[in-house]
Structure formats: structure tokens, C-alpha cells
Amino acid sequence: MLQTAERGATRKSKAPPHERYLEAFRWMLLTRVLEEKLASLYRGGLITGGVYIGRGQEAVSAACGMFLQKGDVFAPLIRDQAGRSAFGEPLVDVARTYLGSRLGPMRGRDGNIHRGSVKTGQLAMISHLGAMIPVVVGKLLAKRMKGEKGFVGLTTIGEGGMQTGATHEGMNIAAVEHVPLVIVATNNHYAYSTPNDRQFACSDLVDRAKGYGYEGSSVDGTDLTQCLEVIGAAVRRARAGRPPQLVVASTLRLAGHGEHDDASYVTDDIRREAFAQDALQRTEQLIVEQELLNREGLQHMRAQIAAEVDEAVATAQQEDAPVGSEEDWCAISTRELVDHVN
């Protein structure tokens, strides 16, 4: 759908499903099940801090994770569980972080959606939107300097986050450095409670691509086949040395901003738009229609996933929380340079 994408087109994909369609579906389903579990733990008061889920964006996110290889850089944001899982994040990392186990990748120092780890090649985001983009650029630049080859970096952003100065500077510097970067921007039509018309005034955010020297593509984020094709192609182009890629996906956030938010500001009109379809439902429907999996197959997958999620949660729940009095209160790694301020 490079440049010439039909915007908002929601016709049924005519093409046969992408070869990795089923795998993607599994990541999507895993995400849905996991996030519903997290939401229910949150409602039960068992999670401290916020829970932000990717409901409606699972197709986009799964595709983001699936085309990355070992050695690639992935900087996910708050609605990227599917991509995180697809790129290899163990479920127990998720559970440990949310449930405050001291064994989680952030050791209780940072929480929930801010997790990341060297082991999984996933950067731990800071909250300030757009700030991770130049960090990915720097990693890619360094890899090139070190003589590595064939790598890409992928990071995600929302239509709201695209309006930060950090995003602009990061997108531009990536193009100047000609690093193999893919930015997948999801316009889910809300940034917290703010609709598009108070966020930007261009007719389509993919129009930003040209102004940075990126190649731009649009994708219906509720259509998994398209997501796999378009994001897969963008990753391939970046890997082949083309300029940075901007993919703009269209969806509706099918949840509150976080689980504390009832999203009552989402209008009925917008819920009737084509981009408001549930990507997971659409995918499942196609799977059933095209008989990629039969009922039992589906049921089996569901049961397996539920068991995996439950196990991860159960593991984390048994683990100890970090203990304040044992904490190593030292912000830098060079211990002899710690400032002894009283």
C-alpha cells in the first residue's frame, strides 16, 4: 500500500491470507486473553499503577513484532503487547511487572508498561511520548558503526504522540542518518480523551512521510492481512536500505485510555466507523470462514493460551515483592562516584 494506499478502505481482503496469518492470530488472541486477565486483576485491586491495553490494535502490533529478528531493535509503547509477545517477551515478564514481583525485569523500580530488557531486545520506554524514537536511531547508528548488517529498528507511536517535538526531531534525524527505521503510527482516533480534530489538522498523518523523506504507507489496522503485508513490506524495505518507513494504521481504541477510564467520551458515530471494527473478531471470522482452523483447533488454542497466562500470573503471584530496606539506592553504575548528599 506504499503511498498509493486507498485510505480507510475496508473492503474484504481479496488476497489469500498471509502465510503467517495464523501465527499472528495466536499473538493477537494471547494479547486479548492476557490483557483481559490484567484488567480483571486491576479491577480486583491486585495491580498498582495503570493498566493500558491494546484492544483493537492487536493486528497492527502483532505485525510489528513478527517481522523483527534477533539483533533488531524494538521500542514498543503502551498498546504493544502483541508485538512484545511476538518478538519474544516471556509472559512471566509481563506478569511479574504488573504484579510487582522483585524478579520482574524492572525489579519494582519501574512498572507495568514501562518494562523492557536487554534479553528480549525490547527497550524500556520512558513516558514522554516520542522520546524513544531517537534512542532507536542511536542504537541503529551504533550498530552500523560497529559493522553490523541487516538489522532494522521498529518503534510505535500514536496519533497524539506524533505531535510532540521529540517525535519530529527523532523522525527527522533518522532520515538524515538514513538508518533502517520503521515507525508504525496508529491513529486510533483518540489520544486519551482527545479526538483527532484537537490533535492535528492534516487530512491524513501519512502525509507527514514525504516531508521527512520517509516512504509512507497506510493500513487498515483492523485487517490482519493488510497489517502483515504493509508492515512486513515496510520492514523489508528498511532492511534493504530504503529510507525510513512510516506506516500509519487506522483503528479505534476499543478500551479506555487505561482501565481506570470508561471512555464515555467516545462518540456513537465513531463506534460505527469501519476502523472501529475489532481486529481480533475480524481475524477469527476469516479464520473460521476460510477454515484455516476448525472450532476445536480454535478452542484448543484458546485453552492453551489461557493456561499459559494463568501460569505466568500464578508464578508472579507467588513471588516476593521488592523490599525497601534491601534496595540498592544508587542511580549510577560507577559506585565510587555516588554523591553522598545527606
Ligand X SMILES: Cc1ncc(C[n+]2csc(CCOP(=O)(O)OP(=O)(O)O)c2C)c(N)n1
The residues in 173-212 that bind its own copies, with binding defined as CB under 8 A, are 173, 175-176, 178, 197-203, 205, 207-212
The residues in 225-244 that bind ligand X, with binding defined as CB under 6 A, are none
- d(C-alpha 104, C-alpha 179), whole Å: 32
Q: Work out whether 33 is an interface residue with another protein (CB under 8 A).
A: no
Q: How far is the CB of 165 from its own copies (least distance, A)?
A: 2
The residues in 177-236 that bind another protein, with binding defined as CB under 8 A, are 177, 191-194, 198-200
The residues in 236-275 that bind another protein, with binding defined as CB under 8 A, are 264-265
Q: How far is the CB of 190 from Mg ion (least distance, A)?
A: 5
Q: How far is the CB of 141 from its own copies (least distance, A)?
A: 13
Q: How far is the CB of 282 from its own copies (least distance, A)?
A: 29
Q: Work out whether 325 is an interface residue with another protein (CB under 8 A).
A: yes
Using the rule CB under 6 A, give the single segment among 104-112, 156-164, 238-246, 319-327 that binds ligand X. Answer: 156-164
Binding test (CB under 6 A) with ligand X, winner from 176, 192, 297, 338:
192
The residues in 121-180 that bind Mg ion, with binding defined as CB under 5 A, are 158-160
The three-state DSSP-derived secondary structure of the chain is CECCCCCCCCCCCCCCCCCCHHHHHHHHHHHHHHHHHHHHHHHCCCCCCCCCCCCCCHHHHHHHHHCCCCCCEEECCCCCHHHHHHCCCCHHHHHHHHHCCCCCCCCCCCCHHHCCECCCCECCCCCCCCCHHHHHHHHHHHHHHCCCCCCCEEEEEECCHHHCHHHHHHHHHHHHHCCCEEEEEEECCEECCEEHHHCCCCCCHHHHHHHHCCEEEEEECCCHHHHHHHHHHHHHHHHCCCCCEEEEEECCCCCCCCCCCCCCCCCHHHHCCHHHCCHHHHHHHHHHHCCCCCHHHHHHHHHHHHHHHHHHHHHHHHCCCCCHHHCCCCCCCCHHHCCCCC
Binding test (CB under 8 A) with its own copies, winner from 172, 187, 225, 250:
172
For residue 212, the partner it binds in Mg ion, its own copies, another protein, none, with Cβ less than 5 to 8 A by kind, is its own copies
Q: How far is the CB of 341 from another protein (least distance, A)?
A: 4
Q: Work out whether 191 is an interface residue with Mg ion (CB under 5 A).
A: yes
The residues in 262-281 that bind its own copies, with binding defined as CB under 8 A, are none
For residue 112, the partner it binds in another protein, ligand X, its own copies, none, with Cβ less than 5 to 8 A by kind, is another protein
Judged by the rule CB under 6 A, the positions of this chain that interact with ligand X are 79, 127-129, 158-161, 164, 188, 190-192, 253, 257
